[in-house]
Amino acid sequence: MKNILITGGAGYIGSATVDILLRYGYAITVVDNLFRGFLSGIHEKTHFHSVDLLQKNILEQAFKTNKFDAVIHLAALAYVKESTENPKMYLDNNIQSTQNIIELCKKYEVGKLIFSSSCTIFGNENGDSPVKEESRIKPINPYGESKVICENLIKESGLDYIILRYFNVAGANPEKQLGIKTSFASHLVHALSRAVITDIDVSINGNGSYVRDYIHVDDVAGIHLKALQYIEQQKCREIINCGYGEGYTVLDIVNKFEQVNSVKIRIKKAEFRVGDPQYLVCDNTKLKKIFSWRSSFSKPLEHICKSSLEWEKLR
Ligand SMILES: NC(=O)c1ccc[n+]([C@@H]2O[C@H](COP(=O)([O-])OP(=O)(O)OC[C@H]3O[C@@H](n4cnc5c(N)ncnc54)[C@H](O)[C@@H]3O)[C@@H](O)[C@H]2O)c1
């Protein structure tokens, strides 16, 4: 059985990733400071350490007491708007925690690292074209800047790595009690679901014209399984963009959400938001080729909208 450390495993994507890896027989240790994660998101079969990754000497205990075969480093602060309001907090937390993970991986000879990066690193540099792994990178918010710096630290680390750049992760798995739990979350489909439950208007920035590529959280979790299986088998240094390759405006998503769930959303149009790129759609050619990957859903966007509202009704 392979022994895997997952940072941020109490968070939204982390808890879904833990769930799938446990089903595939991996032994999982989670470290998370529970700043945005939840104990209820931590599967009972995992070993959990409530640790802040910035506290390297405490984090080191997890490495001393386990021989990990690989690390999946998801822990980060991950909200664009918050990062524009408090850039230092984002740069300090995300960069130093990645640096600490790299140093401990090297010290304890854990040679394989999978890292969660983000499509936000591309900024507005690529116009209305789907972005490839080698497309121009120019983040326009501190969150994106922190991810670019972390990617560079990992590339220079000498470790084997797979950097996964997720596009907009959305949806839930209500049967497994997996979904967004933090009240801080501002993701669009989550906000639409909360608006239905709480009967409030939804503010739509930039006249609803931002285009994004939404990918279901279970598909993202499944990509981690593929990445682990891949990195276990060979030495590799790969960067992979993770999305469906389909762009939707905010208003497209509102319409789809209303149609799929037979609800009506009241929207308020708001200003363009500092730090939000206009168009981010994934060129997923490499994802499909390298992992023989395809979505596990026949209609992913419908599933995202349905599962997100079902999850909010359950909570
Ligand atoms: N959600 C998305 O759409 C999306 C898109 C692209 C990339 N990502 C990346 O995916 C990863 C997971 O995102 P998420 O949506 O699950 O967010 P999340 O906030 O739900 O999970 C992040 C987890 O990291 C933990 N954490 C943060 N800083 C920590 C620290 N210093 N020490 C210990 N734990 C710490 C939090 O408590 C939380 O449980 C992040 O790296 C994020 O940047 C997310």
| Dist. CA 263–CA 286, nearest whole Å | 37
Mutation choice for ligand 1 from 5, 6, 7, 13, CB with most ligand atoms inside 8 A: 13
Q: What is the pLDDT of residues 129-158, one digit of tens each?
A: 999 999 999 999 999 999 999 999 999 999
168 - beta bridge partners? Answer: 214
The gap from C-alpha 149 to its chain's centroid, in whole angstroms, comes to: 17
pLDDT band at 59 (very low <50, low <70, confident <90, very high): very high
* Residue 184 alpha carbon, nearest atom of ligand 1: 19
174-212+245-314: CATH architecture: Alpha-Beta Complex (3.90)
Percent of the chain with pLDDT over 90: 91
Is 13 touching ligand 1 by the criterion CB < 6 Å? yes
Check residue 271 and give its pLDDT: 82
Q: Whose CA is nearest to atom 8 of ligand 1?
A: 118
Distance of CA 19 from the midpoint of ligand 1 (Å): 16
Torsion angles phi and psi, residue 49, rounded to 5:
-120, 120
Q: What integer is the mean pLDDT of 101-116?
A: 98
Same topology, domains 3-170+214-242 and 174-212+245-314? Answer is no
pLDDT in tens, 243-271: 999 999 999 999 999 999 999 999 998 88
Confirm or reject: Cβ of 8 under 6 Å from ligand 1: yes
* CA–centroid distance, residue 164 to ligand 1 (Å): 13
pLDDT tens digit string along 171-187?
999 999 999 999 998 89
Q: Which of 39, 61, 74, 81 to mutate to test the pocket of ligand 1 (most atoms within 8 A of CB)?
A: 74
Contact 272, 310 (CB under 8 A): no
- pLDDT for the residue 1: 65
Are the beta carbons of 12 and 179 closer than 8 angstroms? yes
Q: Of 6, 30, 35, 220, which is best to mutate to test ligand 1, by the most ligand atoms within 8 angstroms of its C-beta? A: 35
49 in ligand 1 pocket by Cβ < 6 Å? no
Rounded to the nearest angstrom, the distance between the alpha carbon of 75 and the centre of ligand 1 is 4
Active site residues: 143
* Calpha distance 206→111 (Å, rounded): 43
What's the pTM? Answer: 0.98
Q: Over range 78-90, report the average pLDDT.
A: 96
Within 10 angstroms of residue 127's Cβ, the number of other Cβ atoms is 9
- pLDDT of 206: 80
Q: Report, as an integer, the average pLDDT of 87-116.
A: 98
Nearest residue (CA) to ligand 1, atom 42: 78
Which tens digit of pLDDT belongs to each residue from 195-236?
999 999 999 988 889 999 999 999 999 999 999 999 999 999
Closest ligand 1 atom, CA of 119? 6
**Of 120, 112, 91, nearest in space to 154 by CA:** 112
> ∠ CA 76-78-79 to the nearest 5 degrees?
155
Predicted confidence (pLDDT) at residue 272 exceeds the cutoff of 90: no
Distance from chain centroid for Cα 109: 26
78 CA from centroid of ligand 1 (Å): 6
Q: State the distance from the centre of ligand 1 to the C-alpha of 36, rounded, in angstroms.
A: 8
Average pLDDT over residues 27-34: 98
Q: Using alpha carbons only, what angle is made at residue 35 by residues 30 and 36, rounded to the nearest 5 degrees?
A: 85
Show me where the domains of the chain are located.
Answer: 3-170+214-242, 174-212+245-314
CATH number attached to the domain at 3-170+214-242: 3.40.50.720
